[in-house]
Amino acid sequence: MRLLIGGPNASGKSTLAVSLYYWLRQHEPYVSVALHELDVHSDTHGPLMGLKAWSKRCKRWPFPQEAPFEVIVYADMMFRKDSSAIVIGDLPGRLANPGMPRFMASGTHAIYVGRSFDEYDAWHASFSRAGVRLLFGVASVLDGNPVPSVLNCHRALVVHDLVRQPSPDLAGIGLLGRSIVDAYMAG
């Protein structure tokens, strides 16, 4: 299974990806899991996983400069070739990113995450065009902000406090983790 985590910039994608990675490793020890940062512009997983301080995080290619094509190809190749049962890919936050068609073509399943569902339809359409099955739309609610409308999402879940700290025990992460395992087992 190649699970893509997609949605707009600064919506909690990386925090959700790392939280799911930790949840799956803790609760499904017999299922191999891997995590790949497909957003080659960012350096988020290291600080989230405590491998380095946030002050040491670097933006590899500041927007609007694009990453070299060979870096995008390499990230995609590593994602595709990973032999783990469940491989989580943390996508860039812009559908217009030059690597997006390549990354989308590598996925089998997806989760949309956003602070609102304003961009949900565009992401859902992109996943559908690539033949990627959308499992959930996740509303990332921070700092007590109002819960966004999820009327246009077929399977919606609200997760509170996805703030730059992996939280595998947050309400909703277990439901997502179980759904991922069920989709993997179903083939």
Residue 24's contacts (CB-CB under 8 Å, 6 or more residues apart) are: 31, 33, 86, 177, 180, 181
Evaluated on CA atoms 119, 104, 37, 59, the torsion sign reads: negative
What are the pLDDT digits (tens) for 110-137? Answer: 999 988 778 888 999 999 999 999 998 8
What are the pLDDT digits (tens) for 27-71? Answer: 999 999 999 999 887 788 887 888 888 777 776 666 556 777 888
Domain ranges of the chain: 2-186
Of 28, 12, 50, nearest to 180 by C-alpha is 28
2-186 — its CATH code?
3.40.50.300
| More confident position, 51 or 149 | 51
Angle of the 173-186 helix axis to the 13-27 helix axis, nearest 10: 70
Whether the pTM exceeds 0.85: the reply is yes
